[in-house]
Amino acid sequence: MKSPHHLNLVAFVLLLTGVVGCTTLVEVDLPDIPPQGVMEASLRLDEAPLVLLTTTQGYFEATDASTLPELFVGNAEVVMTVDGQEVELPALCSGDLPPEALAAAADFLGVSAEVLTDFDLCVYTGLAEPSTYGLEGVEYGLRATWSEGGQSFDLSATTTMPSVPALDSSWFAIPPTSTNDSLGLIWTAFTDPLGFGDAYRWSSKRVNKSEEFLYPLGSVFDDVFVDGLSFPFQSFRVSQPGEEEEVGEAGFWKVGDTVVVRLEAIDHEVFEVLRDFETSVSNQGNPFALPSSASSNVEGGLGWFVAYAGVTDTVVCAP
């Protein structure tokens, strides 16, 4: 008499054979989708605008260091509208800069000098046009047009510079439940004005350790639950790209760090775009996450145009 284990094994083998025998190769013919233009534009208080233009590529197309420069657009006509007046934004390309100017350009663009050395990165800016600098309460328009590979691109967007938020205070604190007396979080307290529709974005950088402000996932929020209230919130630290963290230190600031925190008011429509973007990024690789689609406030393409009205504060991390 055969044992139950033997019978189970035979049944499993027969089932597996049946499944393999029923396998059918399904070929999916994906349609050719023409590339789309992408605008990533930002404007900060008392600063010139920065406009980065790229084009999309197919999902299965190879992406490496040799193909990345082909995605950037350096031959577009970019026009900003301020109070009904049109101002052309010329291209500024790293390949046209002398070596001694790369460090200053990297600081202005918020990237490393190595990036500008490796890639001929072009941005459009109004450094020489003070009328394009960010001012509270002003509505700004952008339009970018160019042709590439026989296809024409026409992208446009508008946004409004909000009022500067009221950042009340910020401080470093070690959680009471922490087992490490040198690692903690940063708290920020601010007051939201009365009236729904305000939105914000938070970022930080460690002095002498970060070249740029870094946004954590979940950096954007609005006042749907906090309208007119004064309240604090805590934030985790974002790792520098390529940074190797000590065991147990990821996400925390350390005693001895000096941190600049930045709270920025943004247009509510842009908040929705950035929220959807962060949701898509955080869902990558998660098979249980709810599906999400990237939104945009750019007509004729993808991306965003955001005006940041920001305020900063410096926190010295001490026990």
With helix as H, strand as E and coil as C, how does 68-82 read?
Answer: HHHHECCCCEEEEEE
Q: How far apart are CA 115 and CA 120, in angstroms?
A: 9
If you average pLDDT over every residue of the chain, what do you get?
85
Which residue among 160, 184, 216 closes a domain? Answer: 160
Is 181 contained in some domain? Answer: yes
pLDDT in tens, 99-148: 766 677 666 666 666 766 667 778 999 989 999 999 999 999 999 999 98
Which residue among 95, 127, 160 closes a domain? Answer: 160
Asked whether residue 170 falls in the same domain as residue 312, the answer is yes
Poorest-confidence range of 21-25, 43-47, 315-319? 21-25
Q: Which range of residues forms the domain containing residue 244?
A: 166-284+308-316
Is 225 contained in some domain? Answer: yes
| Confidence class for position 245, pLDDT limits 50, 70, 90 | confident
At 112 the pLDDT is: 67
Give the whole-number percent of the chain exceeding pLDDT 70: 78
Asked whether residue 119 falls in the same domain as residue 57, the answer is yes
Task: Please tell me the number of Cα atoms within 13 Å of 319 on its side-chain side.
Answer: 5
Those residues with Cβ within 8 angstroms of residue 319's Cβ, 6 or more apart along the chain or in another chain: 174, 181, 182, 255
pLDDT in tens, 29-71: 666 778 899 999 999 999 999 999 999 877 666 655 555 666 7
Domain count, the chain: 2
Which residue among 114, 131, 160 closes a domain? Answer: 160
Both structure tokens of 139? 């509505």
At 103 the pLDDT is: 72
At 19 the pLDDT is: 47
At 286 the pLDDT is: 64
| Confidence class for position 287, pLDDT limits 50, 70, 90 | low
Q: How far apart are CA 260 and CA 233, in angstroms?
A: 16
Selected residue with higher pLDDT from 116 and 203:
203
- Cβ atoms of 38 and 55 within 8 Å: the answer is yes
The beta-strand segments (E) located in 15-138 are 37-44, 50-55, 77-82, 85-89, 91-93, 122-125
Is 44 contained in some domain? Answer: yes
Asked whether residue 195 falls in the same domain as residue 144, the answer is no
Find the CATH number of the domain harbouring 257.
2.60.40
In degrees rounded to 5, what are phi and psi of residue 71?
-80, -25
Is 23 contained in some domain? Answer: no
Q: Which of 259, 221, 215 is nearest to 239 (CA)?
A: 215
At 242 the pLDDT is: 74
Sign for the CA dihedral angle at 123, 127, 129, 132 comes to positive
pLDDT in tens, 150-160: 899 999 999 99
Give the whole-number percent of the chain exceeding pLDDT 90: 57
Asked whether residue 139 falls in the same domain as residue 183, the answer is no
- Cβ atoms of 92 and 124 within 8 Å: the answer is yes
At 188 the pLDDT is: 96
